[in-house]
Amino acid sequence: MRKFQIFTALALLAFVLLFSCKSEPTTHWKHNDNTVRVGLPAGIKTLNPYLYRTSYESTALNMAYQYLMGFDPKTLELVPQLVKSAPLIQDITEGKYTGGQTFTYEILDEAVWDDGKPVTGYDYLFSLKAVFNPKMPTQRFLPYLESLADVQVDAANPKKFTVFTKDKYFLAEPAASNWVVLPEHIFDPQGLMKGFELSDLTNPEKAATLAGDPRLQQFADAFTSPKFSREVVAASGPYALAEWVDGQRVVFTKKKNWWGDKLAGRQKLLAAYPDTIVFVPIADQTAAETELKNENIDVLLELDPKQFKDLQSNELVNGIFNLYTPPRFVFFYIALNTKNPKLADKRVRRALAHTLDMDMVINDLYDGFGERLTGPFLPDKKYYNKALAPIEMNIEKARQLLTDAGWTDTNGNGIVDKTIDGKLVELKIQCIYNPASSFQQNLTELLKNNAQKAGVEIERVQMETNVLREHMGNRDYEMSAGLGAGATPVPDDPKQFFHTDSDNPGGSNYSRFGNAESDALIEAIRNAPDEAARNGLYLKFQEVLYDEQPLIFLFAPKDRIAVHKRFEATITRNSPGVSLELLKLVK
């Protein structure tokens, strides 16, 4: 009997210990709810998917808005989201758009807007009309969309529609597919865009003749108003905007009985697990680290490299968080306004590039979380030009280049000068940067000190991220350091960032660079008959950029992400590096 009692006691003890061990991971955390608290390096100014400017805003608005197709976070392949399958693609061999292609889609039967109305091809048609409206500030998107010509919706089945293209643009499928669809009845309740044909708006000549129609401006004024940037977030996605407190938090909550839940098993981009996602802006990196250690943040994005290194060796943090360093679809650069008289000569721009030791920048200022670049394409792209030698730090070479460009120190004050339009101009360059980024702080300080040795004075000017972006958008700057430009899993189209057509307040050619040769190469890349021909053109284009130096190319960074261990994370190369909607509580 006693042996039985001992055995029973031991068995009970083992059960208790086993139960305790299994329960521990879900009991010692500060939070055990299904809420994801995300720390962002900057605040959110808009949730309008056509007006956003930062990756943080894009991350937030993607909780609500959806695309026909999106990129699988693991495979990076383009897969269906709002549609039943990839499009049926056919060549156009006769008629108005001969030489182009058609892409036929069918939206999921279950897809509805927040008010229960179905998502249809008419909504997609409206969405394209909106972006092609000549009065809209959406020029930065047009380089990717300009091959689109028209959309025809099936009268018998409004869920089915066909996109027509003008030519065989090599990115036509992602351009047509990876576009946010908006509800027409919410964003255009007066039907202002119904009176216009998409085929007219996609035709630059016809669009120009229509630009004086007051309905276009009326629509643009309404679309860009605070109502559709902050108040109305009407979408088909899993999350609804629940709260927005400026500078404190933006809160999204999972919709009850969301239509996509029952399809998530077979349509992977419809999965959404957290009940609530809260975005918290924390510009100060030290404060962000403190919030992380106190478990007030579950996910911290773009951690400062030095702090991330410290966290990797912090036993307490490693017991609570998983730390990830996936490669990013981003390249870092220093922007140079090439239309500024001080920076118009490529020899001046190359001289500035020679003032930086890039290996030191990567290893000391960014703690090794980067791979050096000589151009805007990432090193693992097969068309990255490996033949271009990285520009080395060489102060004497920088001085010689400045002298060759006519910049010499005529008054002996240590700063080179030159007569421009009859006036003596000293080479003093204003460099704007975000003080919340320690990397930008350190980079601009290094740039200032090294450039001074070459006779160039760099004036560092602090600006909050959104203000900085506004100055760059308006081309109201001389230099801006430590910026990042995003890429995608598909081949690069350099038109948006480097073509002269993109040098406007709504475009992304911030350097204002471009000439006949570079524009012709960009057009040739877009119209190349096959991948081999396109890759050869990419190589040549990189040679032109290398020679002209419109930007100082820095490196391709690795991400630094912390995710609380109570969540199972899907880490991805796509921004923001972790799929927030796929964060799943560990059982």
> What's this model's pTM, rounded to 2 decimal places?
0.87
Q: Is 91 strand, coil or helix?
A: strand
Distance CA(241)–CA(230), nearest Å, equals: 9
Distances 384 to 171, 260, 388, 535 between C-alpha atoms, Å = 18, 39, 9, 9
pLDDT of residue 6: 40
For residue 19, pLDDT beyond 70: no
pLDDT of residue 11: 40
Q: Are 269 and 579 in contact (CB under 8 A)?
A: no
Q: pLDDT digits over 308-360, tens only? A: 999 999 999 999 999 999 999 999 999 999 999 999 999 999 999 999 999 99
Closest CA to 442 of 378, 551, 367: 367
pLDDT of residue 54: 87
When pLDDT is averaged across residues 496-522 and rounded to a whole number, the result is: 93
- If you average pLDDT over every residue of the chain, what do you get? 93
Residue type, 288: A
Q: If pLDDT is split at 50, 70 and 90, which confidence band does 173 have?
A: very high
The full DSSP string for 470-489 is: HHHHTT--SEEEEEEEE--S
Distance CA(514)–CA(70), nearest Å, equals: 31
Distance CA(521)–CA(499), nearest Å, equals: 10
- Which structural domains are found in the chain, ordered by start? 65-219 (3.90.76.10), 239-326+559-585 (3.40.190.10), 330-557 (3.10.105.10)
When pLDDT is averaged across residues 202-207 and rounded to a whole number, the result is: 96
Distance CA(81)–CA(441), nearest Å, equals: 40
Q: Are 344 and 514 in contact (CB under 8 A)?
A: no
Distance CA(152)–CA(225), nearest Å, equals: 29
| pLDDT > 70 in the chain, percent | 95
Distance CA(178)–CA(372), nearest Å, equals: 30
When pLDDT is averaged across residues 400-404 and rounded to a whole number, the result is: 98
Q: If pLDDT is split at 50, 70 and 90, which confidence band does 27 have?
A: low
- Can you list the positions of beta strands (E) in 127-172? 148-153, 160-165
pLDDT of residue 487: 80
Burial class (CB in 10 A: 0-12, 13-18, 19+), 223: buried
pLDDT of residue 506: 77
Q: pLDDT digits over 269-317, tens only? A: 999 999 999 999 998 889 999 999 999 999 999 899 999 999 999 999 9
pLDDT of residue 466: 83
When pLDDT is averaged across residues 145-160 and rounded to a whole number, the result is: 97
pLDDT of residue 505: 83
pLDDT of residue 85: 97
Give the end-to-end CA distance of the chain in Å, rounded to a whole number.
39
pLDDT of residue 73: 95
When pLDDT is averaged across residues 542-564 and rounded to a whole number, the result is: 97
Distance CA(340)–CA(336), nearest Å, equals: 9
pLDDT of residue 436: 86
Q: Which helix (H) or strand (E) holds 419?
A: strand 417-420
Task: Please give the distance of CA 405 from its chain centroid, rounded to a whole number.
Answer: 36
pLDDT of residue 488: 85
For residue 4, pLDDT beyond 50: no
When pLDDT is averaged across residues 480-506 and rounded to a whole number, the result is: 91
pLDDT of residue 569: 97
Q: If pLDDT is split at 50, 70 and 90, which confidence band does 504 have?
A: confident
Distance CA(68)–CA(402), nearest Å, equals: 51
Q: If pLDDT is split at 50, 70 and 90, which confidence band does 15 have?
A: very low
Q: pLDDT digits over 40-59, tens only? A: 988 999 999 999 988 899 99
Q: pLDDT digits over 525-537, tens only? A: 999 989 999 999 9
